[in-house]
Each structure stands twice: as structure tokens, then as C-alpha cells.
Structure 1
């Protein structure tokens, strides 16, 4: 009898080890994620409870668990949130910006959007947004994750971002030609009650004028405003021998090209040599290039403004 009991105990022990291997297989196949329903399809409640109590699996969302070895992986946590959300759920807001590889904080909560009436609720580190009229067509797959479309991600994130970062996603997306100001404006129109929408609408307006960097936005808003500056054309494409270049701001009446030189691309000797060659090529086409550094634009806006106006007044119209 004792031998039989011992044999039965050993058999049950090995069976449980087999079941644990099944939980491990589920986790490995699911990027570290296991949901309760699939776990109970291969293991008894007691086995799952022991895996949770022992820390092999960690509860990260209701009925959704993560392999302890991957608890610190951001992608694994995103996968867990999507699994918890179920069919039709998508990463949204600043989390979607992260997946789109646009400037966004990566230490905040994960944002998930689902259709209105769905049951998923928020949890620690997870915010669930229920959206009326939400359809699968409103999301795309990016880097393996379902996410809201790029333009809607930028719009939704606007009220959540700190002031210093708020404009960056839209500026980067437009400057890299991943979207257009017009598409951003359409996405903004779909969210009429967005907190702070006036500020985003103003940014889109500046992007529509042609501004493509934070420094250009500064110049357009703080320096080159009103009067003769209203006729400036921003980001004007000009074909040169080495390819098309984009001029920061051009006065079509005088042919003056105002260049706003940020430190990132105009700091070293090689940058200076490149700028000189480009300026000479533009001069041959009838442009006069006037350059202003970041330091001067931000600390001497009045002086920069006067110098720009003087340059524009001395030239006669040669650029159509």
C-alpha cells in the first residue's frame, strides 16, 4: 500500500511537471503572455494558482498573466494589454506614439482603446478608453501590434503630453513625410471636444504654412511675423545639382532666403562647408541666403527681425 501510494504520488508529481511545461509553452508562444482561459485548458486551477503564488507567472491585467522572466520587457507588457483587450482592441494615445516611433514618454501607463460597451476595465498601469463608433478599420498593425492610426494617435496624445514634448510628435511625423498637415487637421476635426484643441489647431496651421522644425515654428511665431513677413514661403523645394533642397523661408518679392540654423545640422566645419557650397549654388539661381543661428533667433529676436527686413528691402524681385 505504501509503495502504491508512493507510486501514485510520484506519477501525479510528474504529471504536474508536464502541465507546468504546457504553461511554459503557452508563455513562450504568446510572447510571455498567458490568459486564464487558455491556461485552464491545459492545467488545473490548483496548478495555475501555484504558478501564480510561486511567481512563475505574474498577473498584469485581469485574467492575464506574464512570464516572470519577461516582466521588465515593455513589448511583453504591450502584448499582455492587447491580449487582455481582446478582439478589436488597439494600443492608443501615447502608447501608440511609442509604437509609431514618435517622441513619447515610455514610462507612463499603457493606453488601450476598445469599442463602447466592451467590458475590459483599467488596471494598474493600464488605461482603457471606450470609443463610440470604434471599428477595426480605425486601427492598423504596426511592429506586430494593433494601434490607432498615426494621425489619430497624435491627436489623442495632445492633452496627455507635457508642454515641452507636446508639439514634437506632429512636427516629426510631418517633417519625415509620414503624414501631412491636412490629414492631421482631418483627424483633429473628428475630436471636437479635445482638451487644448486650439493649441493643436494652431500648430497644424503653422505646419500647413510649411514650418518643419521647432526652430522654424519659433521663428514663424516669435520673429518673422506681420508685415512683409506675411509673404514668406516656408520649406520651398529647389532642385540643385546634388538633388532637391528645401529652403527654410523665401521672400518671393526680394529673392531673400532666410535660413534658421539649428545646432544639430550646422555645428561643425563639414556643415559649414556644405552650407557655403549650397549658398553659392543658390546665388547662381538668384537667391540671397541670410543665415541666423539658434542662439540669435532665441536671444536677439528683435535684431534678427530688423536684419531680415533690411535684407528683404534691398533686393528686387527675381524669384517667381
Structure 2
């Protein structure tokens, strides 16, 4: 590869398009670099420095062998400004789920763009789509669809066991709200497994903020004998904001759901004790249930909850 072309490829981070190369070298130089194995064509009119293309297995596309960052740059170069990363690829850019190397890149483009899917690249043609706000934002320096759209479109692409985590994290990190995702879902009436997504959104809107809280919502804190609880209630205590997992306000009882990872963590235990003592200054009783008990002793936990609430109701107003 000629020094001029090599310098251009280096300045462009190991990737060059035919249109950019044509500005500095003749077409024959580009063809010669490919023939000599110095450049590798990864998509139509998109070339990558061969040193950045690892050896692959039989049948694996060149695009699949690139690093995630280079793979996305190649796809965006192929779209030539007419596409934005979407679906599970967008979730990776948003920092909500690392996309495995064996998953194809997803790209949203206008319906009339003429851009086609390729090996390891899935192109979605969208009516009314434009690579501009409000459809697209720039994140980590690349165009990506809005988070709510990415969460909805990625739902059927993910294995069922992996679906809740990105949505729960997005809400917990305050990147979005259940209501905004509901609005995006309304624009996808034929989405696969749409009902399951609506159910999860309803639980998040009710205040559930973890898979364990969702388990508790479904199996422990609803049903016969259970009052209507509040979830993720914000309490001010001595100048601090404390959030309560499952709160029975009339009885002033906070039920905390401790995940499996907190078991045996001394530092977390100390934090919990300080927090519980702080809430006691507000007259709030904290009752903690471990992951194991919630999942394996569900009926016994339900009976304890009912008994605790009944006991608190029986207390005289002067005792509170």
C-alpha cells in the first residue's frame, strides 16, 4: 500500500471508504492495496487495515471479526450518514448491555434509503425515520436511536432471561422512565412478546427496581391478606434521603429485600444497620428478607408480613 494511502488509513483509525480514498489516490492504488492483502473490504466501499482483522473461523464474516468499536464505525461508514445504531447494538452504546461478538450490528435507516442488510449487519427500514432529533442522538461520538426506542426494539432480540435487566437498569439509572418506554411501545403494536414488556413496565411504574423486587411483587406482596404497598418511597431522615423498598405507610413498616450478593458482606451489613437505625428515628420499623427466604420460603414470609402488620395496627397511638 502506498505511503499516501497508508497515512490516510492511519489518520482515519484503520478504516477508509472508497470516496475518501479517491480524494488522495487513484482507484488503482486502492485496488492494489486490497490485492496485496494490506486492506480488507468489510462492507461495500468500506475498507479496513488488514492488521486490524483477526483470523476467523470458516464462514465467519469479516465484519464479525472486527473489534466492537471498529465494527460499528464500519457500519456507519457504509450507511454514509443515513443510519443510526439501534436495538441491541444501541443498548451497548448506551452502556446497558455489552453486545456479544456473535450478535449482528443493528442499524436503523429511512425506509427509502436503499441500504441493505449484509452478513453480520441487520438493517431496519423505518417509515418517517431521520438521522436527527427526535429519532437520533449522539452518544459516545456515534449516532444512536433514542434509548426508549432501543429498549423496545431490543426486547424480542434478547433471550427471555436477559430482557428485563437493561430496562431495569435504565430506569434505576434515571436514563428514562417507564412512562416514556410505554410511549415508545405504543409505536410498535406488532412487537413480539409485547404483553410481557407491558407487564414489566407496569411493575417498574409501580416502583419495583430489581428482579428480586419483581419476584416479591408477583409472589409475596400481592394477593389475599396483603394491603396496597408503596414502593421506592423517599423518606427524609436527619437531612438524608432514604428510599424504602416496600412500604406499608399506615403501619410505618419498611420491608427490605436483600439480594443474594449482600449475604455475608460485612460492609454492606454495617451500611444497612446504620440506615435502619436512621429510619427508627422516624418511627419506621425495618424488616429484612433475604433472597433465599423470599424465593424458597414464600408462604412463611407472607404469614410473617401479615402478622407484623397486624401487630403494628394493634399498638396504641401513644406507643407510636
TM-score exceeds 0.5: yes
Which runs of structure 2 are paired with 1:98-247 in the superposition (5 Å)? 98-107=92-101, 108-135=103-130, 136-137=132-133, 138-241=135-238, 243-247=240-244
The answer on 1:269 being equivalent to 2:296 is no
Shift of 1:74: 1.5
**TM-score normalized with structure 2 length:** 0.89
CA distance in 2, matches of 1:272, 1:263: 13
**TM-score normalized with structure 1 length:** 0.89
CA distance in 2, matches of 1:84, 1:47: 20
CA distance in 2, matches of 1:223, 1:68: 57
- Does the CA contact (< 8 Å) of 1:181 and 1:204 recur in 2? yes
Say if 1:114 and 1:268 are closer, same or farther in 2 by CA, change over 3 A: same
The RMSD of aligned alpha carbons is: 1.7
Say if 1:54 and 1:241 are closer, same or farther in 2 by CA, change over 3 A: farther
Q: Residues 43-67 of structure 1, C-alpha deviation per residue, up to 9 Å, x if partnerless?
A: 3333212211222211111111112
CA distance in 2, matches of 1:65, 1:251: 61
* Structure 1: 5+ residue stretches without partners: 1-16
Aligned length: 300
Q: Counterpart in 2 of 1:49?
A: 31
Q: Residues 57-114 of structure 1, C-alpha deviation per residue, up to 9 Å, x if partnerless?
A: 1111111111223333221111110111122310000000000000243321111110
Shift of 1:308: 1.3
- Does the CA contact (< 8 Å) of 1:256 and 1:290 recur in 2? yes
Say if 1:201 and 1:155 are closer, same or farther in 2 by CA, change over 3 A: same
CA distance in 2, matches of 1:229, 1:179: 30
- Does the CA contact (< 8 Å) of 2:84 and 2:145 recur in 1? yes
Residue from 81, 86, 89 that aligns with 1:92: 86
Partner SS state of residue 275, structure 1: helix
Work out which of the two has the higher radius of gyration on C-alpha atoms and give 1 or 2.
Answer: 1
> Which is helix-richer, 1 or 2?
1
Say if 1:229 and 1:82 are closer, same or farther in 2 by CA, change over 3 A: farther
